[in-house]
Amino acid sequence: MNKKAASIILMLFEVIVVIVVVGIALTVATRLGKPETINKITAAEDLAMMVNTLVALPGDALVEYPRNMSLYSLVLTSQKVTIYEGDQTKDRDPVSRPFILPQGYTATKFVKQKASVCLQKEGKTIVIVECPKP
C-alpha cells in the first residue's frame, strides 16, 4: 500500500472517531440538560444534606422537603438517596447521591409519587415518609 492511500485511510478513521466522540458528547449533554434530570439532581443533593443535618440534631425530628415531589419516586437506604422519575421500574436515568451515616444509624424506606415528602428521625433511624396532613 502506498503512502497516499494510507494517509487517506488514516484521515477517514480520524473523521469517523471525531464524529463518534461529538455524537456521544451531544447525547450526554442532552440527557443531563433536561429539566427533569436537573430537578432529580437538585432533590437528591438536598435530601442527602437533610439526612446529614438530621443526624446532627439531638432527639427526634420531622423535616418537610419544600418542593412538590409528586412526579418522582424516592428511595432512601443507609448509603444513598435515589430519585426516579415516575415509577422506579421505568426510569432509565435515576439519580443517586451518597451520604455517610455514623455507626449505629440506619436510613430506610421509599416514597412513590407523593406531593409532600418528609424525613423523619426517630432515635438512630431516619425514614422517608409522606408528610402528615396538618
Domain-wise residue ranges, the chain: 35-130
Euclidean distance between CA atoms 52 and 63, whole angstroms? 12
pLDDT band at 30 (very low <50, low <70, confident <90, very high): confident
Q: What is the pTM of this model?
A: 0.76
Q: Is-contact 126 51, C-beta < 8 A?
A: yes
Residue 78's identity, in one-letter code, is S
Q: Using one digit for the tens of pLDDT, what is the confidence trace for 43-94?
A: 999 999 999 999 999 999 999 999 999 999 999 999 999 999 887 677 788 8
